[in-house]
């Protein structure tokens, strides 16, 4: 693993870089200034510095400091500490906004590591160090740039500025070691290259080839979140395609085949997300498995819907169980698959009226329309169903009332004898 050398960092003064404090949100600046006024180092760190230098809007802002978590808590009344192994300071502002402050860390010495090798990764995360040591602990050079609030300069210990200029993604240290430490870095490398339109360093590709099977050992919760990040950043299609080309996809998604048509559909969903439609996990899961489902369940009026439901459950259940997907999300994915089956077999079948009024039918049609762009022979069906949904009457909610019993008025006639 690479260790910090004696070389001095590259420091860009304020007049040599494009970052302005106007691009940093007010709460983040408040935290940076208070740390600085109290004699602590206060840096903007990570992806926010990278994005600002590239002219992009950061998703969030993270802060690095030489103050310990306990010192940060003493400086901010609205601060609380999180994490048992990886202590972070979260500073809360109005509207449930959180600013994350992390103490600079370093790689521990061999004699500092615990005897249990399985504890090494977590232990490595919690040894405090200098800014330079912290930079060399990070994953990619472009994510290890610092913005110093003391003089508004950019600090580069690892060559990230040059890699930004050359649009190259490079691992800090030996990729074989870094990917063994944390296999999710392989997926993140492909994600960053796709998001930023950067080329991958040859050593990264060689290391993925050597270590790709390790991705199956990563925590399912982390893989699940990274997959959804691909969808949110509109790069799920190209990244999963590259995973397949590198032989990593079956290890990433437990034998998932990733056919050309499936990848093409996922790329269509990337375009949908780019147009401003938020991605939902149930929709993403249905898209992943639509081709497999349609192949195993060919649309036919003779196939009972109970069998179709069973097949949809059978296909998505292993994925949902492995990634601990909530029942509601799994239910939505299943209903979207079944909806696509109904759409593919055409109109005039039993239960059509109920199907047209189902709340998930418009979303099923949305997925089916994207699928028809991959399989153009389905386009006439899309038009038929669009027309049917537009002309379908709204479901009438009739309230049944029990007939009121009329009370008999007492007779006013005198009895006759």
- How, if at all, do strands 153-156 and 145-148 pair? antiparallel
The two beta strands, 153-156 and 10-12, are antiparallel
**Which residue matches tokens 């400091």?**
65
Distance from C-alpha of 226 to C-alpha of 185, rounded to nearest angstrom: 10
Q: Which helix (H) or strand (E) holds 310?
A: helix 305-322
Across 132-219, the runs of DSSP E, i.e. the strands, are 145-148, 153-156, 168-169, 199-200
Is residue 185 exposed (0-12), middle (13-18) or buried (19+ Cβ within 10 Å)?
buried
Report the C-alpha gap between 16 and 123 in whole angstroms.
Answer: 38
Quickly count: other Cβ atoms within 10 Å of residue 73's Cβ.
Answer: 18
Tokens encoding 7: 């070389």
Contact of 339 with 364, CB cutoff 8 Å: yes
Q: Which of 15, 25, 51, 60 does the annotation list as catalytic?
A: 60
List the catalytic residue out of 15, 25, 51, 62.
62
145-148: strand order across its sheet: 10-12, 153-156, 145-148, 42-45, 62-65, 97-103, 88-93, 79-82
DSSP for 2-29, please give it.
----SPPPEEE-GGGS---GGGS-HHHH
> Backbone phi, then psi, for 47, in 5-degree steps?
-65, -25
Known active-site residue 197: no
Tokens 């991705």, residue?
215
Other C-beta atoms within 10 Å of 313: how many? 16
Q: Which of 139, 156, 201, 270 is catalytic?
A: 139
Q: State how far the Cα of 382 lies from the Cα of 376, in Å rounded to an integer.
A: 10
Catalytic residue flag (residue 134): no
Element (H, E) at 81: strand 79-82
247: left (phi over 0), alpha (psi -120 to 50) or beta: left
Beta carbons of 375 and 295 less than 8 angstroms apart: no
* DSSP secondary structure letter of residue 109: P
> Is 201 a known active-site residue?
no
Q: Give DSSP secondary structure letters for 175-224.
A: HHHHHHH-THHHHHHHHHHHHHTPEEPHHHHHHHHHHGGGGGGS-HHHHH
Instruction: Report, as residue numbers or ranges, the catalytic residues.
Output: 60, 62, 139
């Amino acid at each position: 693993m690479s260790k910090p050398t004696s070389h001095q960092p590259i420091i860009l003064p304020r007049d040599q870089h494009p970052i302005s404090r106007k691009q940093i949100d007010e709460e983040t600046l408040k935290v940076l200034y208070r740390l600085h006024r109290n004699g602590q180092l206060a840096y903007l760190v990570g992806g926010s510095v990278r994005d600002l230098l590239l002219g992009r809007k950061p998703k969030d802002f993270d802060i690095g400091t030489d103050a310990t978590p306990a010192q940060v808590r003493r400086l901010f009344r609205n601060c609380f500490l999180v994490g048992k192994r990886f202590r972070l300071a979260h500073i809360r502002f109005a509207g449930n906004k959180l600013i994350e402050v992390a103490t600079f860390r370093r790689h521990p010495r061999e004699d500092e590591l615990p005897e249990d090798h399985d504890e090494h990764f977590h232990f490595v995360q919690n040894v405090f160090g200098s800014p330079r040591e912290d930079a060399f602990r990070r994953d990619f050079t472009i994510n290890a740039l610092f913005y110093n609030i003391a003089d508004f300069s950019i600090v580069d210990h690892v060559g990230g500025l040059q890699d930004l200029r050359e649009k190259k993604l490079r691992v800090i240290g030996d990729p074989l070691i870094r990917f063994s430490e944390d296999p999710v870095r392989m997926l993140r490398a492909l994600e960053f290259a796709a998001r930023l339109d950067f080329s991958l360093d040859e050593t990264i590709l060689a290391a993925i080839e050597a270590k790709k099977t390790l991705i199956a050992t990563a925590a399912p919760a982390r893989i699940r979140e990274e997959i959804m990040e691909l969808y949110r950043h509109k790069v799920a299609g190209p990244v999963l395609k590259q995973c397949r080309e590198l032989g990593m996809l079956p290890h990433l998604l437990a034998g998932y085949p990733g056919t050309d048509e499936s990848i093409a559909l996922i790329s269509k969903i990337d375009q949908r997300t780019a147009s401003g439609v938020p991605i939902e996990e149930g929709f993403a899961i249905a898209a992943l498995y639509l081709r497999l489902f349609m192949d195993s369940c060919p649309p036919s009026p003779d196939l009972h819907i109970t069998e179709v439901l069973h097949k949809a459950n059978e296909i998505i259940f292993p994925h949902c169980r492995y990634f601990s997907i909530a029942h509601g999300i799994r239910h939505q994915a299943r209903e979207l698959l079944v909806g696509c089956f109904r759409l593919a077999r055409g109109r005039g079948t039993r239960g059509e009226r109920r199907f047209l009024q189902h709340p998930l039918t418009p979303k099923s049609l949305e997925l089916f329309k994207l699928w028809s762009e991959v399989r153009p022979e389905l386009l006439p069906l899309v038009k038929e169903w669009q027309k049917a949904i537009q002309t379908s009457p709204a479901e009438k909610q009739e309230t049944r009332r029990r007939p009121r019993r009329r009370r008999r008025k007492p007779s006013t006639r005198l009895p006759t004898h």
